[in-house]
Amino acid sequence: MLFTEEDVTHRLAGIHVFPINALPAAGLVPEGIDTLCHEEAVKFEAMRRYYDMVDADLLFCFSDIALQAEAMGAPVRYASDEMPAVCAPAGIVRVPRACKAPRMALNGQVVRRMRTAYPRRRIAALVYGPFTVVGQLTGEQNALRRVREAPAALSALLVEATAMAEDYARLLLDAGADLLWISDPLAALLPPPDFDGFAGRYLRQLFGLMSDGQTILHICGETSDLLAPMVATGAGGISFDQCMALPTVEAQVPRQVAMIGNLDPVEVVTMAPLHTVCAATRELAATMGIRSNFILSTGCALPPGTPIENVRAFIHSGREAVADIRRHAAYLAPLVDAVTRGDATATVQTVGRALAGGRDSLRLLDGGLVRAMRQAGARYEAKQCHLPELLMSVDAFYEGFARLKTRLPGSADAGPRVLLGTVQGDLHAIGKDLVRILLEANGVGVIDLGVDVSKDRFVAAMARYRPAIIGLSAFLTAARRQLPALIGSLRSSGNENLKVVVGGAAVNAVIATEVGADGYARDAVAAVKLIRGLITDLRAGEGASR
Q: Which of 69-73, 129-133, 429-433, 530-534 has the lowest mean pLDDT?
A: 429-433
pLDDT at position 363, please? Answer: 86
- For residues 66-86, give the mean pLDDT: 98
Highest-confidence range of 74-78, 329-333, 482-486, by mean pLDDT? 74-78
Q: Which of 92-106, 116-130, 473-487 has the lowest mean pLDDT?
A: 473-487
- For residues 121-131, give the mean pLDDT: 99
Nearest to 204 by CA among 174, 234, 226, 176: 234
- The pLDDT tens digits for 315-364 are 999 999 999 998 898 899 999 999 999 999 999 999 999 999 999 888 89
Instruction: Give the pLDDT band of residue 380 (cuts 50, 70, 90).
Output: confident
DSSP string, 255-298: TTSEEEEEE-IIIIIITS-HHHHHHHHHHHHHHHTTSTTEEEEE
β-bridge mates for residue 85, sequence order? 77
Q: Which of 123-132, 160-169, 282-291 has the lowest mean pLDDT?
A: 282-291
**Higher-scoring residue by pLDDT: 211, 194:** 194
Q: Let me know: does 125 contact 182? Beta carbons within 8 Å.
A: no
Q: Distance between alpha carbon 338 and the CA centroid of its chain, in Å?
A: 25
Alpha-carbon span 152 to 158, nearest angstrom: 10
The per-residue b/e assignment along 196-233, b for 16 or more CB within 10 angstroms, e otherwise, is bbbbbbbbebbbebbeebbbbbbbbbebeebbebbbeb
**Higher-scoring residue by pLDDT: 405, 281:** 281
Q: For residue 262, is the peptide bond before it cis, meaning its omega torsion is within 30 degrees of 0?
A: yes
- The pLDDT tens digits for 402-450 are 898 888 765 444 456 899 999 999 888 878 888 887 787 677 889 999 9
pLDDT at position 410, please? Answer: 52
Nearest to 2 by CA among 14, 11, 19, 10: 14
Residue 24 per-residue DSSP state: G
- For CATH 3.20.20.210, the residue range(s) in the chain are 8-327
Q: The whole model's pTM is what?
A: 0.80
Alpha-carbon span 377 to 244, nearest angstrom: 14
pLDDT at position 537, please? Answer: 80
Q: Let me know: does 265 contact 21? Beta carbons within 8 Å.
A: no
User: Is the per-residue pLDDT at 524 higher than 60?
Assistant: yes
- The pLDDT tens digits for 1-41 are 444 545 567 889 889 999 999 999 999 999 999 999 999 99
Query: At the fourth CATH level, which superfamily is domain 417-545?
Result: Cobalamin-binding domain (3.40.50.280)
User: Is the per-residue pLDDT at 540 higher than 80?
Assistant: no
User: Is the per-residue pLDDT at 384 higher than 90?
Assistant: no
- For CATH 3.40.50.280, the residue range(s) in the chain are 417-545
pLDDT at position 322, please? Answer: 93
Q: Let me know: does 495 contact 462? Beta carbons within 8 Å.
A: yes
pLDDT at position 285, please? Answer: 92
**Higher-scoring residue by pLDDT: 440, 243:** 243
pLDDT at position 545, please? Answer: 57
8-327 topology per CATH? TIM Barrel (3.20.20)
- The pLDDT tens digits for 152-178 are 999 999 999 999 999 999 999 999 999
Q: Which of 73-82, 122-131, 387-396 has the lowest mean pLDDT?
A: 387-396
| Average pLDDT in the chain | 92
How distant, in Å, are the alpha carbons of 131, 278, 376, 471, 485 from that of 540? 41, 8, 24, 21, 30
- For CATH 1.10.1240.10, the residue range(s) in the chain are 330-405
Q: Let me know: does 17 contact 296? Beta carbons within 8 Å.
A: yes
- Determine the CATH number of domain 330-405: 1.10.1240.10
Mapped onto helix, strand or coil, the DSSP state of residue 153 is helix
Alpha-carbon span 248 to 376, nearest angstrom: 8
pLDDT at position 1, please? Answer: 40
pLDDT at position 376, please? Answer: 84
How distant, in Å, are the alpha carbons of 254, 296, 342, 444, 506 from that of 529? 28, 22, 23, 12, 20
pLDDT at position 411, please? Answer: 44
